[in-house]
Chain A
Amino acid sequence: MSMSADTPADEQGIDPQLKARLRKAERFLKIRALLLVVPLMLFVLFTFVMPLAEMLYRSVHNPVLVEAMPEVARLMQEWDSQELPGEEIYAAVGKALVEARKEKTIGRIANRLNSEYSGMRSLLTGSARKLQRYKGDDYKNFMLQLDPDWGEAETWGAFKVLSSEYTLTHYLAAFDMQYDSKGKIVPQPEERQIYVDMLLKTLKLSLLVTVFCVLLGYPLAYYLSILPPSKSNLLMILVLLPFWTSLLVRTSSWIVMLQGQGVVNSVLLGLGVIGEPLDMMYNQIGTVVAMTHILLPFMILPTYSVMKSISPVYMRAARSLGATPAHAFMRVYFPQTVPGLSAGAILVFILSIGYYITPALVGGRTGQMISNLIAYHMQTSLNWGLGAALAGSLLVVVLVLYWIYNRLVGASQMKLG
């Protein structure tokens, strides 16, 4: 639309100055709305987004060799990975190792190289000690005599991988892959392939928990929705109380219930149902039972609130038109509950895929999930890059699911209690 300030009035007879003032007023309202949100945005940015960004950066940032042996890193960048490196590189590595031993940075470099190719730690520390006294200038021959590993392609492959400051090695490792000595992506040796299995197990356990939550939650939500409000409000308390009860309280309760001499076993033994105690804890059963209990309210609440809003008239109409109860339920009632059902199921799946506390306490060795592995690398093995890459991969999965959830339900539609 053409409009300029010098036209006194447009076709509709609206004063352009009035329009400008309206726009100005709306801009003011927009800015005011934004100003209300800005403090929280800054806070979330600082305490949540920046830490996450830094962790993702850590998963691809690979500074050890570049910082400690810049010259070696530079030369390795130029090396083409085809044949053994020349004298120049051997000399640079030899001198850098002696230097690193003096500066006491060798342990860090050796550890990092060792995570690329095992055996590097002893090769580096052992050679550095002997290189100290070497005064000649034929480093290549001397080092090859010191240890035949200096003639192995894998050794130099490890150096090559670490020579660039940014790398995907952690992500490759998180999916059981690595670079070979020629820089090609190949599967890890069989005994080091654990992460894909762990990811699949996490998905399997989360799926199981989700299925159990649907199977238990849907009929209960339906029953609650057809009760008169006075009764359903009362029974709802039984759903909301676990929802409000501390996660650790409920997990400890499941330990009490499921352990060898626990409540469930005692009852079953006392009733004569079983002859000896069942193994229900420190395995996948423990994880699935406890997590189903913990996440069930997240399934029931959205399903219930959708069912509550469905008028019974539709079912009556279907019945009066001759549909059998089962048919009416499947064709008329069920489709209307799908939004609540899918909201609850996706929420349960998202939450269970990242679960940490419950598997750590009741999962034993076999009931662990990917989060426990992330915690292990962050706290125990201190392989932070790998931990960050695992976390990054999990984050992607969760964010994709969250995006789907948002598309289907809308984050603002999330209901609590």
Chain B
Amino acid sequence: MSLPIHATALERVSYYGLRLFSALVLFFLIIPILVIIPLSFNAEPFFTFTEGMLRLEPEAYSLRWYRNIWESQEWMLSIKNSMIIGVCATLLAMTLGTLAALGLSQRHMPFKGAIMGLLISPMIVPVIISAASMYFFFTKVNLAQTYLGVIMAHAVLGIPFVIITVTATLVGFDDNLTKASASLGANPRTTFFKVTFPLIRPGVISGALFAFATSFDEVVVVLFVAGTDQRTIPREMWAGMREQLSPTILAVATLLIVLSVMLLLTVELLRRRSDRIRGVTE
């Protein structure tokens, strides 16, 4: 919307005021992310822009903090752990979550609201409470300080995202499609893989990406449940930020920002594709 020609002075002022205010809020949102990237190339171990950086002298920039990651055994192990735990937790959350979302979106599902509330609660319950309880319970059943324990804990935290995104793609799902498939002689299995799944696939994938991002970013549960063998990237960052802030953390942060840009773009593309397939227009 732009201003009509007949707008009064007051309307003009408030419109441009709104524009300015929105620009400032967007600036506030994005600036912390933009600040980190150049600082990670700082040649000096400082967290602020040096004179040389501001004058764009090439000597003021360096890749030394990135080399640090590459050369550090702890960081490489944590990257490996984050990938293993993230992928396994995602697969677990995705499989169980998609099945449940399929069940929840059926007309005949009893206690729908209560079950939905329960399944989404891991997202709402403060993570410190979940983490501390898991610590005591997992110690009892020998899951503490194991990969399986961390994977299960991360999966349960990622499940709400899978439920929410898959249920959203199932809203308005045309049941006649499965009926048509069945009437043409397909068994339920074929119907699922040939008809239902391709339609909900965008939702499943974006749910999976959310679950992966959750696991990849999770630190509190790891602090409580994981042992030294299962240290993840956030766990290393946490340690680095509490002990002594090293610019290596900014280099890791920059890599994580690149990863989130990729995840964001993928999810956006999937969402648009899903809307198009289901015939939802903006």
Give chain A nearest CB distance to B128 CB in angstroms.
4
Q: Contact check, A237 vs B264: say whether CB atoms are below 8 A apart.
A: yes
- Bound Cα distance A248, B249 (Å): 10
B5 at the interface (CB under 8 A from A): no
**By the criterion CB–CB under 8 Å, are B39 and A256 in contact?**
yes
Give the shortest distance, in Å, between B210 (CB) and chain A (any CB): 6
Give the residues from 170 to 195 in chain B that come closer than 8 angstroms, CB to CB, to chain A.
Answer: none
CB nearest neighbor in A for B29: A242
Check B152 for interface membership: any CB of A closer than 8 A. yes
Asked whether, in the complex, the Cβ of B109 is within 8 Å of the Cβ of A417, the reply is no
Interface residues of B in 24-65 (CB under 8 A from A): 25-26, 28-33, 35-36, 39, 46-49
* Given A235-B26, A246-B260, A414-B164, A44:B128 Cβ within 8 A: no
Contact call A249/B128, Cβ cutoff below 8 A: no
Nearest B residue to A292 via CB reads B28
Which residues of B have CB within 8 Å of A325? 10-11, 14
User: Do A223 and B19 form a contact, CB below 8 Å, given A262-B47, A387-B132, A416-B164?
Assistant: yes
Contact of A193 with B by CB under 8 A: no
* Interface of B, helix, strand, loop or mixed by DSSP: helix
For the complex, give the distance between the alpha carbons of A325 and B4 in Å.
14
Contact with B along A256-297 (1 / 0, CB 8 A): 110101110010000000000000000000000000010011
Given A44-B119, A54-B136, A354 contacting B19 (CB threshold 8 A) = no
A39 touches B117 (CB 8 A): no
In angstroms, Cα B269 to Cα A399, docked, is: 35
B280 within 8 A of partner (CB) = no
Complex interface: chain B residues within 8 A of A48 (CB): 121-122, 125, 130, 134, 156
Within 8 A of A (CB), among B183-234: 206, 210, 213, 216-217, 219-220, 224, 234
1/0 contact trace for B2-21 toward A, CB 8 Å?
00000000110010001101
How many whole Å from A273's CB to the nearest CB in chain B? 16
Q: When the two chains form their complex, are residues A263 and B115 in contact, meaning their CB atoms are under 8 A apart?
A: no
B271 proximity list for chain A (CB < 8 A): 417
Q: State whether B99 touches A37 (Cβ < 8 A).
A: yes
B128-161: which have CB < 8 Å to A?
128-130, 132-138, 140, 152-153, 155-156, 159, 161
**Roughly how many angstroms separate A133 CA and B156 CA in the complex, as a whole number?**
57
B274 to chain A, nearest CB (A): 12
Q: In this assembly, does A113 line the interface, its C-beta being within 8 Å of a C-beta of chain B?
A: no
Contact A220 B256 (CB under 8 A): no
B-to-A contact residues, CB < 8 Å: 1, 10-11, 14, 18-19, 21-22, 25-26, 28-33, 35-36, 39, 46-49, 92, 96-97, 99-100, 102-104, 106-110, 113, 115-122, 124-130, 132-138, 140, 152-153, 155-156, 159, 161, 164-165, 167-168, 206, 210, 213, 216-217, 219-220, 224, 234, 237-238, 241-242, 245, 249-250, 253, 256-257, 260-261, 263-264, 267-268, 271, 282
A-B contact pairs, 12 of them (CB 8 A): A30-B109, A43-B159, A50-B137, A55-B136, A246-B217, A246-B256, A246-B260, A248-B234, A252-B237, A361-B241, A378-B135, A395-B126
What are the 6 tightest A-B residue pairs by CB atom distance, in nearest-first order? A354-B126, A36-B103, A51-B137, A51-B133, A253-B32, A55-B133
